[in-house]
Amino acid sequence: MAHRSSTGPVCRLKLVTLLFALSPELLLLGAGVKLQDNGYDGLLVAINPQVPENLNLITNIKDMITEAAFYLFNATRRRVFFRNIQILIPATWTAHNYSKVKQESYEKANVIVAEQNEEHGDDPYTLQHRGCGEEGKYIHFTPNFLLNDELAAGYGSRGRVFVHEWAHLRWGVFDEYNNNKPLYINGQNEIQVTRCSSDITGVFVCEKGLCPHENCIISKLFREGCTFIYSSTQNATGSIMFMQSLPSVVEFCNATTHNQEAPNLQNQICSLRSTWDVIRDSSDINHSLPWSGVELPPPPTFSLLQAGDKVICLVMDVSRNMAEADRLLRLQQAAELYLMQVVEIHTFVGIVTFDSKGEIRAQLQQINSDNDRRLLVSYLPTAVSTEEEANTCAGIKRGFEVVEKKMGRADGSAMILVTSGRDEHINNCLLTAVSSGSTIHSIALGSSAVRQLEELSHLTGGLKFFIPDKSNCNRMTEAFSRISSGTGDIFRQSLQLESVCETVLPQHELVNSVTVDRAVGNHTIFLVMWQTSVPPEIVLSDPSGRKYNTSDFDISLAFRTASLRVPGTAKHGRWTYTLNNMYHSPQALKMTVASHAFSLAISPATVEAFVERDSIHFPQPVIIYAMVRMGLYPVLNATVMATVEPEAGDPIMLQLLDNGAGADVIKNDGIYSKYFFSFTVSGRYSLTVHVHHSPSRSTPAHSVPGSHAMYVPGYIANDNIQMNAPKKTGQRGMEEQWGFSRVSSGGSFSVLGVPAGPHPDMFPPCKITDLEAGKVEEDVVLSWTAPGKDYDQGQATSYEIRMSKSLQHIRDDFNNAILVNTSELNPQQAGTRETFAFSPKIVTNEVEHEPDGEIQESHIVYVAMRAMDQNSLKSAVSNIALVSLSVSPKSVPTFRRDDLILKGIFAALGLIAIICIVVVVAHCTLNRKKRELKKENGTKLL
d(CA 322, CA 355): 10
Q: Pinpoint the alpha helices (H) of 34-89.
A: 55-75
* Strand ranges across the sheet with 509-516: 509-516, 573-580, 537-541, 547-549
Please list, residue by residue across 806-841, b when 16 or more beta carbons sit within 10 angstroms of its beta carbon and e when fewer do: bbebbbeebeebbebeeeebebeebbeebebebebe
SS3 887: coil
Q: How many CB atoms lie within 10 A of CB 531?
A: 18
Residue 922: burial class (beta carbons within 10 Å; 0-12, 13-18, 19+):
exposed
C-alpha distances in Å from residue 816, one per residue of 608, 665, 833, 844: 44, 28, 27, 17
Query: Other CB atoms closer than 10 Å to residue 860's CB: what's the count?
Result: 20
Distance CA 113, CA 486 (A): 15
Do 680 and 604 form a contact (C-beta atoms < 8 A)? Answer: no
The sign of the torsion formed by the CA atoms of 913, 916, 920, 922 equals positive
Active site residue 150: no
Report the candidate in 95, 173, 161 with the shortest Cα–Cα distance to residue 125: 161
Measuring CA to CA, which residue among 7, 8, 3 is closest to residue 458? 8
Q: What is the DSSP string of 636-689?
A: PS-EEEEEEEESSS--EEEEEB-SSSTT--STTSSEEEEEE----SSEEEEEEE
Which value, to the nearest 10 degrees, does the dihedral of the CA atoms of residues 186, 190, 193, 199 take? -80
Residues 105/439, Cβ–Cβ less than 8 Å: yes
Angle (CA) 393-394-396 rounded to 5° is 60
Distance CA 768, CA 791 (A): 10
Give dist(CA 677, CA 770) in Å, integer. Answer: 22
Q: Rg of the chain over CA atoms, in angstroms? A: 33
* Amino acid of residue 295: E
Q: Indicate left, alpha or beta for 400 from its phi (over 0: left) and psi (-120 to 50: alpha).
A: alpha
What is the SS3 string spanning 348-379?
Answer: EEEEEEECCCEEEEEEEEECCCHHHHHHHHHC
Closest CA to 499 of 468, 526, 466: 526
Q: Locate all alpha helices (DSSP H) within 190-270, ordered by sequence.
A: 240-243, 265-269
Other beta carbons within 10 Å of 175 = 23
Residue type, 499: S
Angle between helices 475-482 and 327-337 (to 10 degrees): 40
* Cβ–Cβ < 8 Å for 738, 676: no
Alpha helices in 418-484 (DSSP H): 430-435, 453-460, 475-482
CA distance 777 to 417: 66
Is 586 strand, coil or helix?
coil
Instruction: Name the region of 461 (left: φ>0; alpha: ψ -120 to 50; beta: rest).
Output: left
683-693/301-306 β-pairing: unpaired
Catalytic residue among 67, 104, 165, 736: 165
CB 870 within 8 A of CB 878: no
Count CB atoms within 10 A of the CB of residue 364: 20
Q: Which residues are catalytic?
A: 165
